[in-house]
Structure 1
Amino acid sequence: MDLSMQQQQKLDMKLALTPQIKQSLEILKFSMEELENFIREEANSNPLIELKEPSSIEQTIEMARLQGDYGGGTSVSNGEALDPLNQVAGSTYSLELHLLEQLAMEKGLTRTEKEVIVYFIQNVNEVGYLVCDLEEVAFRFDLSMDECEKLLQILQSYEPVGIGARNLTECLLIQLNYKKDAPVLAAPFVQHHLEQLANREFQELAKQYETTIEEVQSVLLYIQQLNPYPMIEVEHERTEYIVPDLIVELLNGEVIIRINDVSLPQLSINTYYEELLRTNRDEETNHYLKTKLSDALLLMRGIEQRHETIYKITNFIFQRQKEFLVEGRIALKPLRLKDIAQLAELHESTVSRAIHDKFIQTPKGIFPMKDFFVRGIKTESGEIESTILIKEKIKTMIEQESKPLSDQKIANILMAEGIQIARRTVAKYREELGFLQSTKRAKKE
């Protein structure tokens, strides 16, 4: 046997990822928030990138619109501040925006009523108290005091609880109204005896309300757990709102898709450095500027490709899942990454990157993109039934059972309907739905 070493040439084709392709794939995987941070980091290190910040009004309106129809029927593209939400400034997430998002959920309010509540919101101070006079508001908007009070109560129903109160007493009473476990004496103590509680006049209060000193002290401890400054709750326990990457709507039976890039700054090339590149004679400086110009153009193209890819994938998703926009999750059909990859003529890994950590705003709420990819089970007719629909069938059977159905019995019923499913699969779905085994489920009377 010849064991001598020999040199041989071998032709092997491999896909080499250039820095441009790597950056493009990285940008594709970013969520909208990550992309915004990445853009700002690149702009900080590249003098040729110039950022134009998005309009704070546009961001405010968009955030409110995402939470529901706020009734602003007039376009603001003409620059006319006709909608009350146009009056709100501030580019960062604030108490004002937090309250506007809740106002956007209100249905049945007139334009004037919304304007009044927006005015109230603009007159909530840094700790959450209302600082405008109701008589002045009534005169300003030509309303009665009763109408103003009712509109203020709408604001006071928002989170954080106690917002829009005019003083400490009202703030605490609003909170007590939402507390099911509040002691009976808590409300009258807050309304009439805060000063006595502060002075620890427990004996006098116990005598007046025919109770014990210990009970008075217990009520005081409960009141002390309430929040005298509603804004503190927003500052320290702020709810994290999901900002969707795409918005999908159904208009006259047609699926409308748009990229939600309202928070992204617009990129352009700095004209000063662009002119310097044309006129400068220094070779080293020119090399630096050319490199930075290439990086800037690469970033801009990468963002454009990201949007195009995500839009294309979403379009194919809702060609399949259009009924979801009307009927919700129960209407989701089986769909695989492979299916979308073939339709969009993309690699499966590219589709996976594109849907990673992305969210879609729909008429049924905000959902991760991955939720629209649904596994299925084959039926006798050769069709694929979605696991969501099968789980719904199992849920309905268990909720309507006259006596507990075993997993095998449920499997038999489904198989009689043409759905090929094993007992262990039924058991798995039952557990995911939160139901106990048949032997542990209480029999219905």
Structure 2
Amino acid sequence: MTAIALKFEHKQQQTLTPRLQQAVRLLQLSSLDFAQEVHAALDKNPFLEPDDNDVPGPLQSDAALPADAATDAAASDDTWAPTAGLPRGGLPSSGDVTALDLVAADVSLREYLHRQINVQPLTPRDQLLTATLIESLDEDGYLRTPLEEVGALSGIDPDRSEMLSALRRIQALEPNGVGARDVAECLLLQMPDIEDDAVRTLATRIVTQHIDRLAHRDFSGLAKTLGRSVEDVERACARIRHLDPRPGWRHGSTDVQYVTPDVVVRRVRGAWVATLNTSVIPRVKLNQAYAKLFQEHRDVQHGEMAATLQEARWTVRNVRQRFSTILKVTEAILKRQHHFLEYGPLAMKPLGLKEIAEELGLHESTVSRVTNNKYMATPVGVFELKYFFSRSMPTASGSACSPTAIRGVIKEMIERESPCQPLSDPEIARLLVRQGLNVARRTVTKYRQLLKVEPVERRRKHA
């Protein structure tokens, strides 16, 4: 029989307080999401108020600058901000018509199709079936749902011939190609746009019978199968590529994710300088008048207000600490990767989170959170901070190389290749080995795909 016993053990364990957990959560947010959090705190916390003054000096950085260049960098900081030249409150309000008022509103694909159908003399039944089909189209303008399922949604139990008639009605609308059920049908609906009869006939055969070979750019195989010259096939395929495989994209706006840089990097008198993008820093401060009034009249019954005041102080501190940490990490990255800004991807060095963490006295997880969803604007582009980190890959000489540099080498090889004899992935791997870079073929394929470069078959052009 098993005896039950109690056992006491002393054990040290590090735990995060709720306050620290909140700070960690806020640190990993993007700057726009963080600003929303701060603005929400402004709305509900009476001890917080907007700060109309410029961002305080300690959040700026003049590290790695000559003494006389620091002033120049600080003086030019405001010129980059996206809001420069506009009042802080935004566009002035007036009764005059502005250019923005004259911009046409985006019309969605469905709305555009409904407008065309509404002017046609249709019976209520046909109108309902056509409208149901329009609402079933996806953003590309395709009908991905079977006709039977769409008919069931109408609630009037139509037969297949009625649904096909309604679909043909939609396919006759603008934009050309809308209402197709696959890519081939979409392209065939646009064939009347090809003016040359011979080219249109050949293009129709290619799309109808050999669309797979079209996708692989197998011009020689198509020419042999169709009994036509390679030049005729290439001319027809080139005209097909001018057709629109996604007609729905012509109407309506697509959600575009804009990137707002957190840090701006400039070259000032030979040195790379990082400054915070002040437009993304929430301008918030403690309302000293309210805080002083509360301190003068507080008592034990005001525990909730005391907690609110402490929350306000933590918010102000989090804003300053967050952006100060981002700036320090950025400066540490620049110290190691400044050659990338001067010479391009080939000069990117291997860099690990641990290296930055040890220099700044931070935990690796903190550096990881800082580099996620934080962006650096440079003269050569906008990059996420984590872009500058990569593992070390050994070379034949015993030195180390970063994957970014290898991708740069691959990109240069492909840009210099012969259009008639492009390099395959195994050939690129062999050329890399000759340069002392031992990269496997599958790794070359992975890097080529990251560069958004098509396979060798699709890059090959016939003389």
Q: For this structure pair, what is the TM-score category when the shorter chain's length is used for normalisation?
A: 0.5 to 0.7
Amino acid at match of 1:8: K
Equivalent pairs, count? 291
Distance 1:11 1:247 in 2: 50
Choose which of 251, 266, 276 in structure 1 pairs with 2:268. Answer: 251
Task: Kindly state the Cα deviation for residue 340 of structure 1 after the two structures are TM-superposed.
Answer: 2.0
Tell me the CA shift for residue 123 of structure 1.
Answer: 8.4
Q: Which residue of structure 1 lines up, in the alignment, with residue 427 of structure 2?
A: 409
Pair 1:266-2:283 in alignment: yes
Check conservation: 2:345, 2:408, Cα contact below 8 A.
no
Task: From the superposition, tell whether residues 307 and 264 of structure 1 become closer, same or farther in structure 2 (CA, over 3 Å).
Answer: closer
Contact 1:273 1:289 in 2 (8 A): no
Q: Deviations over 1:375-394 (max 9, x none)?
A: 44210222221222222322
On the 8 A contact 1:54/1:263 being kept in 2, the answer is no
Q: Distance in 1 between matches of 2:74 and 2:415?
A: 47
After alignment, is 237-246 or 46-55 more displaced?
237-246
Cα offset, 1:313, TM superposition: 0.9
Q: Which amino acid aligns with 1:271?
A: Q
Q: Compared with structure 1, are the counterparts of its residues 377 and 366 closer, same or farther at alpha carbon in structure 2 (3 Å cutoff)? A: same
1:413–1:41 Cα change, 3 Å: same
Indicate the SS of the match to 1:341: helix
The two structures have a TM-score, normalised by structure 2, of: 0.55
Residues 344 and 444 of structure 1: CA distance in aligned 2, closer, same or farther (over 3 Å): farther
Pair 123,324 (structure 1): closer, same or farther in 2 beyond 3 Å: farther
Structure with more contact order per residue of length (Cα contacts < 8 Å, sep ≥ 6)? 2
Is the Cα contact below 8 Å between 1:27 and 1:303 reproduced in 2?
A: no
CA–CA separation in structure 2 for the residues paired with 1:74 and 1:19: 37
Does 1:89 find its partner at 2:87? yes
Three-state SS of the structure 1 residue aligned to 2:373 is coil
Corresponding position of 1:382? 398
Secondary structure in 2 aligned to 1:366? strand
Q: Deviations over 1:239-289 (max 9, x none)?
A: 66432111111212222112223354433332342233233254212x233
Alignment correspondent of 2:26:
27
**Offset, 1:54:** 6.3
The 5 Å alignment of 1:21-170 reads 21-53=20-52, 88-89=86-87, 91-92=89-90, 124-128=98-102
| Alpha-carbon offset, residue 37 of structure 1 | 1.2
Counterpart residue identity of residue 101, structure 2: V
Structure 1 residues 340 and 50, CA gap change in structure 2 (3 angstroms): same
CA offset at residue 367 of structure 1?
1.7
Alignment partner for residue 443 of structure 2, among 422, 425, 432?
425
2: CA distance, partners of 1:75 / 1:371: 29
Q: Residue type matched to 1:25 in 2?
A: V
- Match of 2:385? 369
Of the structure 1 ranges 291-300 and 432-441, higher mean CA displacement relative to structure 2 is found in 432-441
Which amino acid is 1:14 matched to?
A: Q
* Preserved contact between residue 48 and residue 273 of structure 1 (Cα < 8 Å): yes
Q: Please state whether the residue corresponding to 1:297 is helix, strand or coil.
A: helix
Shift of 1:423: 2.1
Structure 1 portions without partners, runs of 5+: 56-72, 78-84, 97-121, 130-158, 161-232
Q: Distance in 1 between matches of 2:458 and 2:277?
A: 48
Residue 353 in 1 paired to residue 365 in 2?
A: no
Classify the secondary structure of the residue corresponding to 2:413. Answer: helix
Q: Secondary structure at the match of 1:127?
A: helix
Map Cα deviations across residues 49-79 of structure 1 (whole Å, 9 max, x no partner).
1222468xxxxxxxxxxxxxxxxx99699xx
Deviation at 1:125, TM superposition (A): 4.2
TM-score by length of 1: 0.57
Distance in 1, matches of 2:273 and 2:348, equals 18
1:201-253 deviation digits (Å, cap 9, x = unpaired): xxxxxxxxxxxxxxxxxxxxxxxxxxxxxxxx9x9779664321111112122
SS at match of 1:35: helix
Q: Is the 8 A contact 2:47 2:291 kept in 1?
A: yes
Partner Cα distance (2:382, 2:76) in 1: 25
Structure 1 distance, partners of 2:349, 2:374, is 20
Following the alignment from structure 1 to structure 2, what is the Cα–Cα distance between the partners of residues 53 and 301?
17
Structure 1 contact 395–433 (Cα < 8 Å) conserved: yes
Q: 2:360 aligns with which of 309, 331, 344?
A: 344
Q: Aligned equivalents of 2:76 and 2:449: distance in 1?
A: 50
Instruction: Give the residue type in structure 2 aligned to 1:365.
Output: G
Query: 2: CA distance between counterparts of 1:362 and 1:297?
Result: 34
Q: What does residue 140 of structure 1 align with?
A: none
Check conservation: 1:53, 1:264, Cα contact below 8 A: no
**C-alpha separation in 1, matches of 2:458 and 2:85:** 58
Tell me the percent identity.
Answer: 32
Letter in 2 for 1:47: P
Shift of 1:441: 4.8
Distance (whole Å) between structure 2 residues aligned to residue 278 and residue 401 of structure 1: 74
**Is the Cα contact below 8 Å between 2:262 and 2:280 reproduced in 1?**
no
Q: Partners of 1:430 and 1:239 in 2: how far apart? A: 25
Structure 1 residues 271 and 327 mapped into 2: Cα distance closer, same or farther (>3 Å)? same
Counterpart CA distance in 1 for 2:388 and 2:431 is 27
Counterpart residue type for residue 396 of structure 2: E
Paired letter, 1:334: P
Q: For structure 2, list consecutive stretches of 5 or more residues without a partner in the other structure.
A: 55-72, 78-82, 106-249
Alpha-carbon spacing, 1:278–1:421, altered in 2? closer, same or farther (3 Å): closer
1:379–1:420 contact (8 Å) kept in structure 2 = yes
2:408 to 379, 392, 416: 392
Structure 1 residue 302 and structure 2 residue 300: aligned?
no
Q: Secondary structure at the match of 1:382?
A: coil
Q: CA deviation at 1:333?
A: 2.0
RMSD over aligned Cα, in angstroms? 3.6
Change (3 A) 1:411 1:329: closer
